[in-house]
Amino acid sequence: MIIAINARFLLSDYLEGYGNFIHETLKRIVINHPEHRFIFIFDRAFDPQFIFAENILPVVARPPARHPLLWKFWYQFQIPRILKKYKADVFLSADGFCSLNTQVPQCVVIHDLAFLHYPEFHKKAHLSFFKKYIPLFLHKASSIATVSQFSKSDIKKQFQIDDSKIDVVYSAAKSVFRPIDDIEKTETKTKYTEGKEFFLFTGAIHPRKNLMNLLKAFSLFKKRLHSNMKLVIAGRLAWQYASFTESLKSYKFRNDVVLTGYVEESELVKITGAAYAMVYPSLFEGFGVPPLESMQCFVPVITSEKSAMFEITRDAALYAIANDPADIAEKMMLLYKDETLRKEMIEKGKIVASSYSWDNTSNLLWHSILKAMQ
């Protein structure tokens, strides 16, 4: 069988979100199925590290698909051409897009429909493309994989797609996220927070992540408890970050907020493992990996009650109202003052985190790929 893969998010210097999902699942699928041939389709020069096995043939289809006009060209002209040339039996696309100009069966992975629920968090040109084409892509697809029951229900409701066409393929956290020892914790806190304990947020600085309300919550926490606790925000500057960074300039507790910027994965493991607690008050998630990363590091989690978070973290997190800084602050204070509760959350987190794995995710995705061909 010849399986074509949309590999344009396999970027060595920017492997997050879609890229992590493709990387973790495909390296397992390719190695587990040496009897099949895989065509990895890149839209720019690729890093050889992503050619996991001898049964992968890398193909570069330019130009890089970086905006809506090039998305159209890449998916509607380049992809059909390559599928035909290599006689592909199925095409897997893990970014919610596919080709409308091919009869080759397609399996589309879509993580969430945030563009419908929070359109203000997207560039206008992107939003217009998403609204017009994603419904067409999902109806065109032979099978759809998504990362939670929440997202599956949302897709069914918004686009009237039959239940049997959509598979839930839960995501996971990488195994490198694990507890660190006391020496590593001390060294990490010395490096980032002058040795102080800290709350942690991990992820891109983006309006959807609700960081303005996190700052307000942290301010309430500091005023009420007079603690020397710090807040570390570990992630790159993404779209519409300027209002957040400007707000920090006049923020009363700005000296207690640490922006690390993008950090390498090995360093992020240390930062996560050294945290007092993860605070992840995102407004909308189809899955939400950082809370699981924290649970694997034996770090308790506070997250929002919105979207998929309750489904993913179950009874192993404290839940706050995302739009209510006072409620987020209350949960932060609760963990800070109640060490018994904190230990209980850590133990529950171990159990929940152990129920997710990339091995299971890759097996579920493989079945969705096969279903596309039925």
Domains, the chain, with CATH or none:
2-172+358-372 (3.40.50.2000), 182-354 (3.40.50.2000)
Q: In the structure encoding, which two tokens stand for residue 214, read together?
A: 């996190």
The pLDDT of residue 245: 80
For residues 302 and 360, the answer to whether their CB atoms sit within 8 Å is: no
Q: Which of 370, 372, 367 is nearest to 169 (CA)?
A: 367
Across the chain, mean pLDDT equals 95
Q: What's the burial of 96, exposed, middle or buried (CB within 10 Å: 0-12/13-18/19+)?
A: buried
Tens of pLDDT, residue by residue over 302-353, are 999 989 999 999 999 999 999 999 999 999 999 999 999 999 999 999 999 9
In sequence order, the 6+-apart residues with CB closer than 8 A to the CB of 97 are 6, 71, 75, 108, 133, 134, 137
Scanning the structure block, which residue is given the tokens 């507790």? Answer: 253
Q: State the amino acid at position 153 in one-letter form.
A: S
Q: What's the burial of 76, exposed, middle or buried (CB within 10 Å: 0-12/13-18/19+)?
A: middle
Q: Hey, is 108 helix, strand or coil?
A: strand
Q: State the amino acid at position 262 in one-letter form.
A: Y
pLDDT at 62 over 70: yes
pLDDT at 205 over 90: no
The whole-number average pLDDT for the span 231-260 is: 86
Q: Hey, is 56 helix, strand or coil?
A: strand
Q: What percent of the chain has pLDDT over 90?
A: 89
Residue 239's pLDDT band, with cuts at 50, 70 and 90, is low
Beta strands, E only, the chain:
2-6, 37-42, 56-60, 90-93, 106-109, 143-146, 166-168, 198-202, 230-234, 257-259, 277-280, 301-304, 317-320
Q: Return the sign of the alpha-carbon dihedral for residues 179, 180, 186, 188.
A: negative
The whole-number average pLDDT for the span 260-270 is: 94
The pLDDT of residue 206: 83
Evaluate if pTM is beyond 0.75.
Answer: yes
Q: Hey, is 144 helix, strand or coil?
A: strand
Q: How far apart are CA 20 and CA 172, in angstroms?
A: 10
Residue 240's pLDDT band, with cuts at 50, 70 and 90, is low
pLDDT at 190 over 90: yes
Tens of pLDDT, residue by residue over 98-116, are 999 999 999 999 999 999 9
